[in-house]
Amino acid sequence: MTGRRDARARNAAFTRVILLVALALAATSACAQVLDTIRQFQFEQAASGYRIVLKEVPRPVAGDDEVLVRVRATSLNRRDLNMLQNDGADSAGYAGGIPLSDGAGEVIAVGMGVTGFKVGDRVAGIFFEKWTQGAASEEALLSDRGGNAGGMLSEVIVTREDALVSIPAHLSYEEAATLPCAALTAWVGLFKRGRIAPGQYVLLEGTGGVSVFGLIFSSAAGAKPIVTSSSNDKLERAMKMGAIGTVNYLSNPDWHLKVKEISGGHGVDQVLDVGGRDTLTKALQILAYSGHIALIGGLSGYGSELLTDSIMWINASVSGVYVGSREDFMAMNAFISEHEIRPLIDRVFEFENAPEAFEYMASGDFMGKIVIRL
């Protein structure tokens, strides 16, 4: 009798083990199915321009020299809005491409040939995937992220290890996601091309991403930033961030003369010109001897006539700046770490609300950077 009871107990225990194993296998299979796909936004053609649509796509796999990154945050630039609005693009140029050039996240897998990163490292993608160092080339400038397979508005991306940089330890993923385009553009314009020095006057047009980074960087370098804007509230905030003077260009159409007055008649030594046609001529009129202008954007359009005789007479220089290399990014990160710089984030949107982030940028009612958290 006792033997039969023991046998039944053993059978029941065996059955429970089988059930537990079956449940575990089913759970593992379900997890595997979930992990086989990721979510990402893609550009989809609309009646006018594009819209961004959330898609479920196969999970990428890292090749021998590639890194798999779980993206934790991304940020927007004016360029991304231009893509959405199809400003200057071919009719189907971005369809199926992934939006956004800027993002940061955590390494979750590495290929066998990868030596620079390991699982768990915190990284940001560089703007040009193939511009690692030195001067730009045609190949490098054609490797810009956004609107293609290299876009960052995706839960997971795969990229070459030399298309990533480590991010400063004191920054959050949201803060680090603001660096690849706007921050690096401002840093290259001021430090690499402009060779900014303490005490120099710096003109920053507006309060978008590049200009605000220019304010933060020039203040940290001991320079004297002067900010223009159409919003008195933003100008007040700029003063609290280190500006030595501000001008509202709407209420003061001859804003450049006011800028020169703020500089004590000296003029400005550095200019980050993001305005283009409507700002460049005025900026040149108040450029100091041996001053430097970084040509960055064309918010008011392009096509301004450079006053070449004036540039030569005052021994000035003008540089076209289109972001920078991985090498530049690493140098900027060292400066950011040294000065414990934190980017200015205006607002953070959740991943599912990414279309609202584009609408918010289009409104112009922001200062600094707009971030999407994944």
Three-class secondary structure assignment of 199-260: CCEEEEECCCHHHHHHHHHHHHCCCEEEEEECCHHHHHHHHHCCCCEEEECCCCCCHHHHHH
- SS3 state at 6: helix
Average pLDDT over residues 78-92: 77
Query: To which residue do tokens 């706007």 refer?
Result: 182
What is the tens place of the pLDDT at every residue in 65-79? 999 999 999 999 999
| Cα–Cα distance measured from residue 152 to residue 74, given in angstroms and rounded to the nearest whole number | 7
Q: What angle do CA 295, 297, 167 make, to 5 degrees?
A: 90
Residue 300 has pLDDT above 80, yes or no: no
What is the tens place of the pLDDT at every residue in 219-249? 999 999 999 999 999 999 999 999 999 999 9
pLDDT of residue 100: 98
Q: Are 98 and 63 in contact (CB under 8 A)?
A: no
pLDDT of residue 306: 64
pLDDT of residue 27: 43
pLDDT of residue 301: 45
Architecture of the domain defined by 194-320:
3-Layer(aba) Sandwich (3.40)
| Cα–Cα distance measured from residue 259 to residue 374, given in angstroms and rounded to the nearest whole number | 41
Q: Which of 19-33, 89-103, 183-197 has the lowest mean pLDDT?
A: 19-33
Q: Are 153 and 103 in contact (CB under 8 A)?
A: yes
Q: Which residue has the higher pLDDT, 240 or 301?
A: 240
* Strands of the 268-273 sheet, one edge to the other: 245-248, 224-229, 201-205, 268-273, 287-295, 317-320
pLDDT of residue 6: 55
Q: Which residue has the higher pLDDT, 333 or 13?
A: 333
pLDDT band at 48 (very low <50, low <70, confident <90, very high): confident
Q: Measuring CA to CA, how many Å separate 75 from each of 71, 140, 158?
A: 11, 22, 18
pLDDT of residue 276: 65
Average pLDDT over residues 332-353: 98
Q: Which residue has the higher pLDDT, 88 or 218?
A: 218
Residue 16 has pLDDT above 90, yes or no: no
Within 10 angstroms of residue 117's Cβ, the number of other Cβ atoms is 17
| Cα–Cα distance measured from residue 166 to residue 111, given in angstroms and rounded to the nearest whole number | 17
pLDDT of residue 29: 37
pLDDT of residue 11: 56
Give percent of the chain above pLDDT 90.
Answer: 80
Closest CA to 295 of 368, 189, 204: 189
pLDDT band at 10 (very low <50, low <70, confident <90, very high): low
Q: Are 340 and 220 in contact (CB under 8 A)?
A: no
What is the rounded average pLDDT for all residues in the chain?
Answer: 89
The DSSP letter of residue 163 is G
Residue 84 has pLDDT above 90, yes or no: yes
| Cα–Cα distance measured from residue 311 to residue 292, given in angstroms and rounded to the nearest whole number | 9
The DSSP letter of residue 151 is -
**Tokens at 282, concatenated:** 């005025």
What DSSP line would sit under 252-307, residue for residue? Answer: -TTHHHHHHHHTTTS-EEEEEE-STHHHHHHHHHTEEEEEEEEE---TT-S-PPP-
What is the tens place of the pLDDT at every residue in 183-203? 999 999 999 999 999 999 999
pLDDT of residue 24: 45
pLDDT of residue 295: 94
**CATH of 37-180+325-373 given 1.10.3720.10, 3.90.180.10, 3.90.1150.30, 3.30.1330.60:** 3.90.180.10
Burial zone of 127 (CB within 10 Å; 0-12 exposed, 13-18 middle, 19+ buried): buried
Beta-ladder partners of 164: 125
CB under 8 Å to 309, separation ≥6 — which residues?
A: none
| Cα–Cα distance measured from residue 133 to residue 156, given in angstroms and rounded to the nearest whole number | 26
Average pLDDT over residues 319-345: 97
Average pLDDT over residues 265-275: 94
What is the tens place of the pLDDT at every residue in 130-163? 999 999 999 999 999 999 999 999 999 999 999 9
Residue 252 has pLDDT above 50, yes or no: yes
The domain ranges of the chain are: 37-180+325-373, 194-320
pLDDT of residue 32: 38
pLDDT band at 122 (very low <50, low <70, confident <90, very high): very high
